[in-house]
Structure 1
Amino acid sequence: MPTVPILMPQLGESIAEATVVQMHVKVGDEVWADQEVIEVETNKAVMSVTTLCNGIVAEIRATEGESYAVGSILGLLEVTEEEVTRTGVDTMESLEAKRSMPSQSAAASDSKESNLHFAVDGDDYEEAPAVVPSVKGLPVPTGTMGAHYISPRMRARMDDMGLREADISAVVGTGAGGRVTVEDLERFLDYLQDWPSSTASPMRLAVADAMRRSWTRPLANVGIPVLLDRVLDHRRAQSPKPGLTLYLLRAFALALAEQPKTAGYFIGEKIVHPRSFDIGVAVQVDDGVVVPTLRKVDQLPLKDLVAIYDDLVDRARRRRLTEADTKGGIATVTNFGTFGLTSGMPIPLPNETLILGIGAGVKKPVWSDQVEAFLPATEAGLFLTFDHRVVDGGGAGLLLKRVCELLQHPESL
Structure 2
Amino acid sequence: MAHPIQIPRLGWSMEEGVFVEWLRADGDTIEPGDVLFNLEGEKAIQEIESIDAGVLRIPADAPAEGDTVLVGQVIGWLCAEDEDPPAEFPAVDSAAADDGPPDTPPVPSAGPVQAAVATAPAPPTRRPASSPRARRVASELGVEWTTLAGSGRNGRIRERDVRAAAESGATVSSSTGSPSVRGVIAERMLTASRDTAAVTLTTTADATALVSLRKQFQATSGDEPAPGYNEILLKLTAIVLAGHPQVRSSWTATGVLAPAGDAAIDIGLAVDTDAGLVVPVIRDPGGATLKSLHQDVADLADRARTRQLTAAEMSGGVFTITNLGAHGIDAFTPILNLPQAAILGIGRIREVPVVRGEEIVPGTEISLSLTFDHRVLDGAPAAKFLAELVRAIENPGAMLAG
Q: Tell me the TM-score normalized by structure 1.
A: 0.50
Uncovered stretches (5+) of structure 2, i.e. residues with no partner:
1-122, 124-174
In 1: Cα distance, 2:294 partner to 2:240 partner? 19
d(CA) in 2 for partners of 1:378, 1:253: 23
Q: Kindly tell me: are residues 301 and 374 of structure 1, through their superposed partners in 2, closer, same or farther at Cα, counting changes over 3 Å?
A: farther
Q: Counterpart in 2 of 1:249?
A: 234
The alpha carbon displacement at 1:233 in A equals 1.0
Residues in 1 aligned to 2:289 and 2:378: alpha-carbon distance in whole angstroms? 30
Listed as ranges, the matches of 1:247-286 within 5 Å are 247-274=232-259, 275-286=263-274
Local SS of the residue matching 2:383: helix
Is the radius of gyration larger for structure 1 or structure 2? Answer: 1
Shift of 1:199: 9.4
Instruction: Give the one of 379, 382, 400 matched to 1:393.
Output: 379
Residues 351 and 364, structure 2, Cα contact 8 Å, conserved in 1: yes
Residues 265, 318 of structure 2: 8 Å contact kept: yes
Q: 1:231 and 2:217 equivalent?
A: no
Aligned mates of 2:349, 2:293 — CA distance in 1? 23
Q: How much identity, in percent, do the aligned residues show?
A: 34
CA contact (8 A) 2:199 2:372 kept: yes
Q: Does 1:402 align with 2:388?
A: yes
Between the aligned partners of 2:254 and 2:310, the Cα distance in structure 1 is: 34
CA–CA distance in structure 2, aligned partners of residues 258 and 199 of structure 1: 38
Q: Aligned partner of 2:214: which letter?
A: R
State the distance in 1 between where 2:267 and 2:248 align. 11
After superposition, where does 1:304-319 map in structure 2 within 5 Å?
Answer: 304-319=292-307
Q: C-alpha distance in 2, partners of 1:242/1:348?
A: 27
In the alignment, what sits opposite 1:360? 348
How far does residue 300 in structure 1 lie from its aligned partner after superposition?
Answer: 2.1
- Measure, in 1, the Cα distance between the counterparts of 2:177 and 2:332: 28
**Deviation, structure 1 residue 405:** 0.7
- Closer, same or farther in 2 for the Cα pair 1:198/1:263, shift >3 Å? closer
- The answer to whether the 8 Å contact 1:228/1:407 transfers is yes
Q: Report how far residue 287 of structure 1 moved.
A: 4.1
Aligned counterpart, 1:374: 360
Number of aligned pairs?
217
Structure 2 CA distance for partners of 1:402 and 1:301, relative to 1, 3 Å: farther
Is the Cα contact below 8 Å between 1:331 and 1:354 reproduced in 2?
A: yes
Letter in 2 for 1:397: A
Is the 2:177–2:274 contact (alpha carbons within 8 Å) kept by the matching residues of 1?
Answer: no
Matches within 5 A, 1:163-178: none
State the secondary structure of the residue aligned to 1:362: strand
CA contact (8 A) 2:177 2:276 kept: no
- The alpha carbon displacement at 1:331 in A equals 1.0
Report if aligned partners of 1:333, 1:356 keep a CA contact under 8 Å in 2. yes
Deviating runs (4+, > 3 A) in structure 1? Answer: 197-200
1:52-101 deviations in Å (ceiling 9; x for gaps)? xxxxxxxxxxxxxxxxxxxxxxxxxxxxxxxxxxxxxxxxxxxxxxxxxx
Amino acid paired to 1:220: V
Asked whether the equivalents of residues 245 and 334 of structure 1 are also in contact (C-alpha less than 8 Å), the reply is no
Alignment-mate amino acid for residue 211 of structure 1: M
Structure 1 unaligned segments of length 5 or more: list them: 1-159, 161-196
Contact 1:331 1:348 in 2 (8 A): no
User: C-alpha separation between the residues in 2 aligned to 1:348 and 1:338?
Assistant: 21
Q: Which structure carries more helix by proportion?
A: 1
* Displacement after TM superposition at 1:269 (Å): 4.1
| Cα separation, 2, equivalents of 1:282 and 1:269 | 29
Deviation at 1:404, TM superposition (A): 0.9
Q: Distance in 2 between matches of 1:376 and 1:318?
A: 42
Q: Secondary structure of 1:258's partner?
A: coil
Deviations along 1:288-316, one digit per CA (max 9) or x if unpaired, are 10000011122224343221122112222
Letter aligned with residue 251 of structure 1: L
Tell me: higher relative CO, structure 1 or 2? Use CA pairs within 8 A at least 6 residues apart: 2
Decide whether aligned partners of structure 1 residues 393 and 307 sit closer, same or farther in structure 2, where only a CA change above 3 A counts: same
TM-score, L = length of structure 2: 0.51
Deviations 1:12-53 (CA, angstroms, capped at 9, x unpaired): xxxxxxxxxxxxxxxxxxxxxxxxxxxxxxxxxxxxxxxxxx
Answer yes or no: is the 8 Å Cα contact 2:200–2:371 preserved in 1: yes
Distance 1:322 1:199, change over 3 A: closer
Name the stretch that deviates more: 215-224 or 260-269: 260-269
CA–CA distance in structure 2, aligned partners of residues 384 and 344 of structure 1: 9
1:226-257 C-alpha deviation (Å, 9 max, x unpaired): 12221111111112322212222112111110
Quote the offset at 1:334 in angstroms.
0.6
Q: Residues 199 and 246 of structure 1: is their aligned pair in 2 closer, same or farther, counting only changes over 3 Å? A: closer
Question: 2:382 is aligned with what amino acid?
Answer: A
Task: Say if 1:298 and 1:367 are closer, same or farther in 2 by CA, change over 3 A.
Answer: same
| 236 and 388 in structure 1: CA distance in 2 versus 1, 3 angstrom threshold | same
Shifted more, 268-277 versus 323-332: the winner is 268-277
